A and B are shown apart, each in its own frame.
Chain A
């Protein structure tokens, strides 16, 4: 069974930083493309970015609102991806989901809440 478990969410002040983690199991993690998708309270879904498998180049791509502030990385030895979030804004407040990405978003974690507020 595929499992994705996010951690690292919490309350942070505007301008601050936070790092989210997502550990995967039940599939060959090193072969997987992984995405982060967020959902602001009461709102819809927004793709944040993805990281390809190392065999596909390991490159990243980001949505415009987070480009230059957020960085996705992976450690296949730990079956984990990370989302480093810097220069956080109030509009980054959301539940952040880790998603296994096989073109479509096939498996989702339960999400971790990030609240950006003074």
Chain B
């Protein structure tokens, strides 16, 4: 199984400041035949199901604000929120879809400082 490890477990950022969350996979999720990273990011607000934010490591899902950006390749990835808004308080998960079993990171809880 591909183990996904996020850091930090929790993060407090001031409104308008930048937030960054890291995700490391236990093996590369860069597929040689497609040259794509099979890595996604999800946002889960309290009491709601997760919502897809980013796929292919850096492609924003339709309707996701451009404050959100994803980067990285191979085994190391980052989700950044350029200017934190109050409504972005949530838990963020990375996930690999390179191979089954599809696996998630443990989650990073983002709060307002």
Contacts and interface: CB of A to CB of B under 8 A. Distances in A.
Nearest to A97: B49
Interface in B92-107: 93, 95, 97, 100-107
B25 to A, nearest CB: 15
Interface in A95-118: 97, 103-106, 108-111
Interface residues on A, range: 10 to 19
Nearest to B102: A47
Contacts, number: 48
A46 interface: yes
Contacts of A103: 38, 55, 97
B52 A44 contact: no
B101 A47 contact: yes
A61 interface: yes
B21 interface: no
Contact of B51 (A44, A45, A47, A108): A108
Interface of B: 1, 38, 40, 42, 44, 49-52, 55, 61, 93, 95, 97, 100-107
Interface in A50-76: 50, 61, 63-64
A103 B36 CA distance: 12
A45 B40 CA distance: 13
B41 to A, nearest CB: 10
Interface of A: 35, 44-47, 50, 61, 63-64, 97, 103-106, 108-111
Nearest to B49: A108
Given A105-B40, A110-B49, A45 B93 contact: yes
